[in-house]
Amino acid sequence: MTEGNFVDYVKIHVTSGRGGKGSAHLRREKFVAKGGPDGGDGGRGGHIIIRGNKNLWTLYHFKFKQHFKAGHGADGGKSRSSGASGKDEYIEVPMGTVVRDTDSNKVLFEITEDGEEKIILEGGLGGRGNWHFKSPTNQTPRYAQPGLEGSQGQLVLELKVLADVGLVGFPNAGKSTLLSVLSSAKPKIADYEFTTLKPNLGIVPYREFQSFVMADIPGIIEGAAEGKGLGHFFLRHIERNALLLFLIPADSKDVSKEYDILLDELKRYNPELLDKDRIIAISKSDMLDDELIGEMRAELEKDFAEIPFVFISSVAQLGLQELKDLLWKTLNNNAEISS
């Protein structure tokens, strides 16, 4: 999936349907000269309904349509015939979509399951027909209620990427290169910071025709939790990844310090992110000889006793199979525990 096709934030305008008018009809038949009121009720206006769709991965389809209107209710008829309800307007979104009110920025709900439906705006009620208003003192009311107008408003749709593995690291740590080597994804790769401006998804093939999904998330900088850099625009994508793969280049001045900064940004944004399983990959390891790798391994074993790590090089194709084995094993352990 190319970066240009990945849309994860849109604003849409929604309008529910108007209710139909009640009928003020009076019954008139061949042998019934004065049959009295028999006007039916108007139909309700159509709802605006947001529905989860597992076949969608991004909000790209909203790039060409941002206005949604439901149908109006039909007017009531004679013989107490109610008008038809207005056609509901369904808005299909991928799972992991957060719906916010534009004015208050309040989160209304999140769609997490395929086929899950939420009514975001109800249609206007249909007006009551004149037969509702007859009484001993008013036997032939010649009036009925009009239908209520529908509602309208603006919504913000934000997508949290749903992937098995999320790549976490500073800008230019080699995340896009790793994704391009492990999968058939074609992310933008260049030798400057913030080459990746939106997440890229790739399907990583594994043994015996199995696979898992990896997300390349734009690089974190210090202060990202407060909105610096790309801030919240990408940190939300980490929330829905099952496993976090921290990518730290071998030429980093201090691997432990870099890891601590990344972890601190995640903690400040959402402390629950620390509950996810983590793996550290030392990228660009082709720059190290065996002696340096041995020394660094000894240091890492002291600093990261509880966290598995692996040395890799995307360019030289070093340690990639070991990394995939480690990722698959961790993901499968999670699946067994959750089931």
* CA gap 50, 163 in Å, rounded: 22
List the single range of 140-149, 189-198, 203-212, 228-237 with lowest mean pLDDT: 189-198
pLDDT band at 334 (very low <50, low <70, confident <90, very high): low
224, pLDDT greater than 50 = no
* CA gap 297, 229 in Å, rounded: 32
Q: List CB contacts of 202: < 8 A, sequence separation 6 or more.
A: 179, 180, 182, 183, 184, 185, 187, 213, 214, 215, 216
* CA gap 275, 263 in Å, rounded: 11
User: pLDDT, tens digit, for every residue of 95-142?
Assistant: 889 999 998 888 899 998 999 999 999 999 999 999 899 988 888 898
| Contact indicator for 302, 256 with CB cutoff of 8 Å | no
- The predicted model scores a pTM of 0.66
94, pLDDT greater than 60 = yes
Phi, psi of 18 (to 5 degrees): -80, 145
List the single range of 39-43, 122-126, 147-151, 166-170 with lowest mean pLDDT: 166-170
- Cβ neighbourhood burial of 172 (10 Å; 0-12, 13-18, 19+): middle
| Contact indicator for 194, 244 with CB cutoff of 8 Å | no
User: pLDDT, tens digit, for every residue of 70-79?
Assistant: 999 999 998 8
* CA gap 13, 10 in Å, rounded: 10
What domains appear along the chain, each with residue ranges and CATH number?
A: 1-159 (2.70.210.12), 163-338 (3.40.50.300)
pLDDT at 188: 45
pLDDT at 192: 36
226, pLDDT greater than 60 = no
